Amino acid sequence: MEGVSSEAASLAGHLKLGNLIYIYDSYNITIEGSTSLAFTENVRKRFDAYNWHVLEIDGHNFQEIESSILEAQKVTDRPSLIMAKTVIARGSACMEGSEESHGAPLGPEEVRASKEKMGCDRDADFAVPEEVYSVFRRVRDEKKKVYDSWKLKFDAVVRDDLKRKWDMFFTKPDLDKLRPKLPVFEAGSKIATRAAGGKILEVLYRELPNFIGGSADLAPSNKTMVKNISESGHGKVGRIIHYGVRENAMGSIQNGIAYYGGFINFSATFFVFMDYMRPAVRMAALSGLQSIYVFTHDSVFVGEDGPTHQPVEHLAVSRAIPNLYVIRPCDADETVEAWNCALARNDGPTLIALSRQNLPVIDRSGTSSAKDLSRGGYIIHDYDTRDVVILSTGSEVHLAITAAKNLFTDNGIKARVVSLPCWELFDNQDESYRKRILGEGNKRVVIEAGIKAGWEKYAGEKALYITVDRFGCSASEQDIAGYFGYKPEIIKDSILKYVKSS
């Protein structure tokens, strides 16, 4: 019933995934009662429509289970669905076929009665008969032999270069060797971080043969298309996956790929459409999977597409997921470092939020290197002393720096600017580092084109918040900037007023 199953099955049929076999435990019971309450579609016909091979069996008949799997394995040009008709709680004394056995234990009395019905001692503790042990021992030994013989064949047959490739797929890439190959951007030039991300992807696809990924039908906008890389299509799998407009399946398939191992994989869509795949993102975080998300169009600066396409709460709701690294780079250089962090992670997913609009590559002479992104937050503009500290991320950092420079030139106000692209990494630093970066005193300004929630932990209650605490609106990028106050002059004036009044 869940939509994600439709998305995934449609794509699997399209790709002709002949190795895929679903076993559908079809007992026609849901928590509310019979599936006839809410579900009367023709499942066989639906999977036919997806171009699946469909089998129907008695799910309590072991021979039918085995023979149907063998048959499904022979069909290699389509995925197979084995519809196994079953009865829920089969064998129990009174709860066979009842929804009451769906979400709750049978209870001690029903367990005793069921044991009796099956010819077991109704009062005996849970016990496994010796003949069951012996069957499992035999099967285990047989499987061990199969594995050993496969292993011998595998080690003997594969040519050396294939073996090296195989081992390489299952080894973390050497990021020190990768670094000199990553693109370098000219300070002062302008490039959207999504475009910088695209240039980085070109290198990753070229240098890492096990690097794969794709977009939910937004590749031209996400800048995730790379030339001369194999693409998925009707009946074929490639390193660039065309997921179609199926975000939740995309995220879930990503997790499956990550569980299997051997690949580094990313997905892409507009940041606001993360809502469609939130269950998959949460599962990646909960399961500690290296799923990587490239979410572009990361703020109201999306422009004309309007509030349905403009994330405002999405940074906050992403940061809320435990074990998810959320990185919002301020320029092309930080985008390189964001990818470095994502590739280095072993224990969970990384979300990289990228801008639609062009951003200047920050001139870092006399200030920190973008490499400090690995510490989550760092000083990107400073003076010997200071009157106020500005905390910012992503596309608002260059505005903060310009405002800070003008504040000093025009008004003699000294404002430190901190780039805070990844809260999770920053919170992992020791207290002395965090205190050094955030500075002493209470005069703090937060500039981020998203809701304020969560920033209070760094800036306190009395800070000046230049945030977007409402849904966005449809207008040109420039009009949006003016309307929400994201122009250097407006920012400068607000900070000046704030510093003088507080």
368 CA to centre of own chain: 29
Which residue in 17, 51, 194, 284 binds a copy of itself (CB under 8 A)?
A: 51
Residue 159 φ/ψ, nearest 5 degrees? -70, 160
**Best CA proximity match to 240, nearest among 216, 266, 213:** 213
Shortest Å distance, C-beta 311 to a copy of itself: 10
- DSSP code string of 201-267: HHHHHHH-TTEEEEESS-HHHHT---TTS-B-BTTB--SEEE--S-HHHHHHHHHHHHHH-S-EEEE
Which residue in 68, 80, 114, 248 binds a copy of itself (CB under 8 A)?
A: 248
Q: Give the interface segment with a copy of itself, choosing from 67-75, 125-133, 134-142, 445-453 (CB under 8 A).
A: 445-453
Shortest Å distance, C-beta 414 to a copy of itself: 24
Which residue in 24, 27, 50, 484 binds a copy of itself (CB under 8 A)?
A: 50
Shortest Å distance, C-beta 499 to a copy of itself: 21
Which residue in 249, 362, 413, 417 binds a copy of itself (CB under 8 A)?
A: 249
| Rounded CA separation 257/219 (Å) | 20
Please give the residues from 132 up to 161 whose contact with a copy of itself meets the rule CB under 8 A.
Answer: none
Q: Give the interface segment with a copy of itself, choosing from 47-55, 58-66, 75-83, 341-349 (CB under 8 A).
A: 47-55
**Best CA proximity match to 341, nearest among 239, 200, 212, 222:** 200
Which residue in 46, 85, 122, 375 binds a copy of itself (CB under 8 A)?
A: 46
Please give the residues from 157 up to 216 whose contact with a copy of itself meets the rule CB under 8 A.
Answer: 215
Residue 272 or 404 with smaller CB distance to a copy of itself: 272
161 class by beta-carbon count within 10 Å (0-12 exposed, 13-18 middle, 19+ buried): exposed
Note whether 5 binds a copy of itself by CB under 8 A: yes
| Rounded CA separation 38/34 (Å) | 8
Which residue in 19, 41, 430, 432 binds a copy of itself (CB under 8 A)?
A: 41
| Rounded CA separation 245/224 (Å) | 15
269 CA to centre of own chain: 11
Which residue in 275, 411, 433, 475 binds a copy of itself (CB under 8 A)?
A: 275
Residue 383 or 471 with smaller CB distance to a copy of itself: 471
Note whether 454 binds a copy of itself by CB under 8 A: yes
Which residue in 25, 37, 107, 483 binds a copy of itself (CB under 8 A)?
A: 37
437 CA to centre of own chain: 29
Residues 6+ apart with CB under 8 A from 98: 29, 88, 89
- Confirm if 5 and 279 have CB atoms less than 8 A apart: no
- Confirm if 446 and 354 have CB atoms less than 8 A apart: no
Extract the tokens encoding 251.
């995220």
Please give the residues from 78 up to 117 whose contact with a copy of itself meets the rule CB under 8 A.
Answer: 103
Note whether 338 binds a copy of itself by CB under 8 A: no
Q: What is the x/- site pattern for a copy of itself, positions 286-325, by CB under 8 A?
A: x--------------------xx---xx--xx-xxxxx--
CA dihedral 43, 48, 53, 55 (to 10 degrees): 30
Active site residue 247: yes
Q: Give the interface segment with a copy of itself, choosing from 280-288, 326-334, 358-366, 393-401 (CB under 8 A).
A: 280-288
b/e code 10-36 from CB counts within 10 Å (16+ = b): bbbbbbbbbebbbbbebbebbeeeebe
Q: Give the interface segment with a copy of itself, choosing from 131-139, 243-251, 387-395, 402-410 (CB under 8 A).
A: 243-251
Note whether 39 binds a copy of itself by CB under 8 A: yes
Residue 339 or 423 with smaller CB distance to a copy of itself: 423
Active-site entry in 7, 99, 247, 337: 247
Note whether 411 binds a copy of itself by CB under 8 A: no
Q: Among all residues, which ones are annotated catalytic?
A: 247
